[in-house]
Amino acid sequence: MEKYYTRACNFYYGSLSRLKIKNKLALPLNGDKNISFDKIEIISRKSEKIINLKDIKKLKKKLRNKVKKDIIKIIKKKKFSNLNLSDTPIIMGILNLTPDSFSDGGKYNKRNKSFIHAKKLIKDGCNIIDVGGESTRPNSLTINENKEWKRIYPTILKLAKLKKIISLDTRKSSVMEKGIRFGINLINDVSGLNHDPNTINILKKYKIPFVIHHMLGNPENMQINPKYKNVLFDIYDFFENKISFIKKNGIKHNNILIDPGIGFGKNLKHNITLISKISIFHSLGFPVLIGLSRKKFIKDIAGSNDSKQRLGGTISGVLYSMLQGVQILRVHDVNEIKQSIKVFKSIINV
């Protein structure tokens, strides 16, 4: 049987959203009255159709029941450990302790620079600090787990004193376990739990929140002509299968984030498709995270207007993602992103 997917669309924001919900003309996205929708797109690998919510009753019974179940997940208020998802978007600040990350490699991995920068990220308004000791940029090779741990250990010890949510960006279960013992609150494995077979056991043992991230292949080969039958549906199915795998392996909690992995085994068309249709992932029932800060797709679009920080392109991408209900934004330039969000929210609430 043909598989259908439900994507919330035609969003309203701020004061208009609250008015629409009050008059029962729209439904809140993720239980948040500040963003709502009154249409859905019903799509499959063969067809697509946008309908008003009031027309769901006209669908054939099997499809109608499927859509109704999806909408329950879409409008349900999401919960996640120690995060207030009623005030989104939440900012995840990037702290790379590598000599070779694509944007800021070698910038914060010496002396006390990492801790100073972490405190700046917090001051600027980030809710989560994402610490990484291994570059996963295109063409990068994996490094020894001891080397990775040596890079991040001193900083993690200091960060634990700040009493903030600290995310660990690693693919290795041994590094995860050490990090958890020293105060890490969240695991962000860009391999989608595929790199290390023992990862699932660590996540189960410590009942720790984590990100399901999508990557096609591995950093060494992911950008060598990446191909999908349909990037949107293939990644959605990946998440569905991974969630099923996680539950079958005894992980009962729902402290899970979904990240489609912009730039991880995707070309420009793949990335733009994912960003433009990212609201499809709300029907999985988990908060959505996106990391598009300074990514190459911005350069591909900007051409001669590219810049080192790619701040304009990053802000465009994160604001659009926010307008699609994405709850968590992983960024380098926390202060500027917070500034853009504050201005936007002020405008839509007039």
Which residues lie across from 94 on neighbouring strands?
130
Catalytically annotated residue among 7, 164, 172, 330: 330
Please give the torsion angle defined by the CA atoms of residues 266, 325, 129 and 211, in that order, rounded to the nearest 10 degrees: -60
Distance CA 326, CA 138 (A): 25
CA atoms of 219 and 201, how far apart (whole Å): 23
Q: Taking each helix axis from N to C terminus, what angle separates 199-206 and 231-248, rounded to the nearest 10 degrees?
A: 60
CA distances to 40, 58, 88, 322 from 21, rounded to whole Å, are 16, 22, 18, 19
Q: Is 295 a catalytic residue?
A: yes
- Per the CB < 8 A criterion, the answer to whether 202 and 250 are in contact is no
330 has catalytic annotation? yes
Say which residue the tokens 């007039």 belong to.
350
Helix axes 199-206, 173-181, angle to 10 degrees: 20
User: How far is CA 249 from its chain centroid?
Assistant: 23
| Structure-token pair, residue 303 | 């051409």
Cβ atoms of 171 and 190 within 8 Å: the answer is yes
Contact 273, 232 (CB under 8 A): yes
CA dihedral 208, 212, 215, 218 (to 10 degrees): 20
Query: CA of 205: how far to CAs of 131, 201, 208, 213, 252, in Å?
Result: 22, 6, 8, 20, 11
Catalytic residue among 66, 78, 171, 295: 295
DSSP bridge pairs for 27: 37
Amino acid identity of 295?
Answer: K
Give the HSE-up count for residue 195: Cα atoms under 13 Å, Cβ half-sphere. Answer: 27
Catalytic residues: 295, 330
